[in-house]
Amino acid sequence: MTETQSNEIQQALKEARKIVSCARSVVVLTGAGISAESGVPTFRGKDGLWKSYNVMELATPQAFKSNPKLVWEFYLWRRKLISSCFPNRAHYALVELEKHTPEFTLITQNVDGLHSKAGSRNVLEIHGNLWRSRCIQCGDKFMDSRIDCEIPPLCEKCGGLLRPDVVWFGETLDTTILNRSINALEHAEVLLIVGTSGVVEPAASFGAVARAAGAHVIEVNIERTPRSQMYQTVLLGRAGDILPELVKNSEV
């Protein structure tokens, strides 16, 4: 990186810091990239999960119907992997930002639970949580930390088949959570989008929703995304490096 480029990044960061620290209402949208530095694999890109695994065989309702055992193997493997991962500097920076922002909503597409583990409070997990199971028969939901259970696991209440309580392709998001997200986006002064490729709907359109309602949108990613051009500020770099710098002012 040349000295000019480095100065430009510092200048953009300084301006963004000012915008974030002055905002009354901030919404943050996170994706797999924020947990990458914790050791959680992302989905796309050269080391992404979907390079080694077929999404249609593992993350669709049809896949679960035809082979629940295989789907559970994949999810228990991920539970095991994530059980040894911890929140990183980016997760903790958002905890600080929440403390100093009057209206703060964190919308995450991640199912790893690391935002709550870090201490974030107002979190909307729009794609569910890997550490929760749901009965497909009686609808019972419960936190489930098992990584070595018999598969597919069955509901203790009704004997029905349990599934991971996550949102697969072709499934609709929980209406209450989606409505709360849209409401927060429509009232945001600033939307911070961190570590998402911006290709999975409806989250991919959240930036456009907030912009249309007048928000200043800041994207943080290691590379530009198909959506970058529609945002006012794009900060290129690792979330774990950028976010602590971005929220510095709000800590004082």
Q: Which residues bind ligand BJW (CB under 6 A)?
A: 31-33, 36-37, 42-45, 48, 59, 109, 111, 127, 166-172, 195-197, 199-202, 220-223, 225, 238-239
Tell me if 155 contacts Zn ion by CB under 5 A: yes
- Residue 135 vs 166, nearer CB to Zn ion: 135
**Residue from 152, 160, 237, 244 binding Zn ion (CB under 5 A):** 160
162 in contact with Zn ion (CB under 5 A): no
Residue 16 tokens read as 């963004």
- Which window, 29-37, 101-109, 151-159, 198-206, contacts Zn ion (CB under 5 A)? 151-159
- When the beta carbons of 23 and 195 are compared against ligand BJW, the nearer one is 195
Active site residue 100: no
Helix, strand, coil share of the chain (percent; to 5): 40, 20, 40
Distance CA 9, CA 4 (A): 9
Catalytic-labelled residue, pool 91, 100, 115, 127: 127
Instruction: List strands edge to edge, sheet with 103-108.
Output: 123-125, 103-108, 25-30, 190-194, 216-221, 233-236
Computed from CA positions of residues 53, 127, 123, 25, in that sequence, does the dihedral angle turn out positive or negative? positive
Q: Which stretch binds Zn ion (CB under 5 A): 43-51, 72-80, 102-110, 133-141?
A: 133-141
Query: Nearest to ligand BJW by Cβ — which residue?
Result: 33
Of the pair 33, 113, the CB lying nearest ligand BJW is at: 33
How do 190-194 and 25-30 pair as beta strands?
Answer: parallel
Please choose, from the candidates 217, 191, 218, 196, the residue with its C-alpha nearest in 3D space to the C-alpha of residue 26.
Answer: 191
User: Which of residues 55 and 136 has its CB atom nearest to Zn ion in the complex?
Assistant: 136
- Kindly give, in sequence order, each residue whose CB lies less than 8 Å from that of residue 97, ignoring residues fewer than 6 positions away: 20, 26, 28, 104, 247, 250
Q: Figure out which of the listed residues 18, 24, 146, 157 binds Zn ion, where binding follows CB under 5 A.
A: 157
| Residues identified as active-site | 127
